[in-house]
Amino acid sequence: MASDTAAEITNSAYRPARPRVRVGPWAISWLEVSPLAIILVVLFAAPTVLFFVISFFDYDRVGIYPAFLWDNYRELLTTPATWRIYVSSLRFAVIVWAITLFVGFNIAHFLVFHIRSSTTRMVLFMLCAVPFWTSAIIRTIAWIPFLGRNGAFNTMLIDLHIVHQPLEFLLFSDFAVVITYVHLYTLLMIGPIANSLSKIDKSLLEAARDAGASRWQIMRNIIIPLGRTGITLGSILVFTQVMGDYFVVKRMSGGQSASIVSALSTEIQAMQYPPASASAVVLVLFVAFLVAGMMRIVDVRKELVS
Partner 1 sequence: MAREREPRPYTFYLLAGLMGLFLLFLYGPMLVIYVLSFQGPNGGVTFPMVGVSTQWFANIIKPGQVANIPASFERSIVLAIVVSLLTVVISVAAGLGFRRRFPGAGLLFYIAIASLVMPSLLVGFGIGLGFQMLGLPQGLYTSTLGAQLTWTLPFGLLTMFAVVARFNRSYEEAARDLGASAWQRLRYITIPLLLPGIIGVAVGAFTLSYDEYARTTLTIGSYNTLPLELYALVSSDSTPTLFAIGTVTTAVSFVLIGLTMFAVIRMQRRRRMLPT
Partner 2 sequence: MDPRFDVELVGVSKRYGGAVAVDNISLRIPKASYCCLLGPSGCGKTSTLRMIAGHESISDGDVLINGANVTGLPPIKRGTAMMFQSYALFPHLSCIENVAFSLKMRGMAKAERLKKAREFLALVHMETFADRLPAQLSGGQQQRVALARALVSQPKVLLLDEPLSALDPFLRIRVREELKRLQRDLGISFIHVTHSQDEAMALADMMVVMQDGRIRQSGSPREVFGNPATSFVARFIGGHNVLQGAAGPVAVRADRCRLDAAGSGLPAQIAAVEYQGSIVRVALTTDAGEDASVLMPDSVYDADPVQAGARTHLVWAAEDERQLAA
Q: Is 28 in the site for partner 1 (CB under 8 A)?
A: yes
Q: Is 236 in the site for partner 1 (CB under 8 A)?
A: yes
Kindly identify the residues of this chain, within the stretch 214-273, that bind partner 2 according to CB under 8 A. 214, 217, 221-222, 225-226
C-alpha dist (Å) from residue 92 to 8, 123, 222, 249: 70, 31, 30, 10
Distance CA 250, CA 254 (A): 7
- Nearer residue to partner 1 within complex by CB, 93 or 174: 93
163 contacts which partner out of partner 2, partner 1, none, CB within 5 to 8 A by kind?
Answer: none
Q: Report how far apart the first and last C-alpha atoms of the chain are (Å, whole number).
A: 49
Runs of H (alpha helix) within the chain: 2-13, 25-40, 46-54, 71-78, 80-109, 118-129, 136-141, 143-147, 152-159, 174-198, 202-210, 215-218, 224-226, 228-243, 248-252, 260-269, 273-297, 300-305
206 contacts which partner out of partner 2, partner 1, none, CB within 5 to 8 A by kind?
Answer: partner 2
Of 2, 203, 184, the residue nearest 99 (C-alpha):
184
Q: Is 32 in the site for partner 2 (CB under 8 A)?
A: no
Q: Binding residue for partner 1 (CB under 8 A) from 2, 17, 126, 162?
A: 126
Q: Is 64 in the site for partner 2 (CB under 8 A)?
A: no
- Nearer residue to partner 1 within complex by CB, 46 or 67: 46
> What is the biggest distance separating any 2 CA atoms in the chain, rounded to whole angstroms?
92
Q: What is the dihedral of CA 81, 87, 92, 98, to 10 degrees?
A: 180
- Nearer residue to partner 2 within complex by CB, 31 or 297: 297
199's CB contacts (< 8 A; 6+ apart) are 226
DSSP state, residue 16 = P
Kindly identify the residues of this chain, within the stretch 194-213, that bind partner 2 according to CB under 8 A. 201, 203-204, 206-213
Minimum CB distance to partner 2, residue 32 (Å)? 28
- Nearer residue to partner 2 within complex by CB, 60 or 210: 210
- Nearer residue to partner 2 within complex by CB, 217 or 266: 217
Q: Binding residue for partner 1 (CB under 8 A) from 170, 223, 264, 298?
A: 264
DSSP state, residue 17 = P
Residue 133 contacts residue 177 (beta carbons within 8 Å): no
Kindly identify the residues of this chain, within the stretch 173-212, that bind partner 1 according to CB under 8 A. 182-183, 186, 195
Q: Is 163 in the site for partner 1 (CB under 8 A)?
A: no
Q: Is 300 in the site for partner 2 (CB under 8 A)?
A: no
201 contacts which partner out of partner 1, partner 2, none, CB within 5 to 8 A by kind?
Answer: partner 2
Q: Is 280 in the site for partner 1 (CB under 8 A)?
A: yes
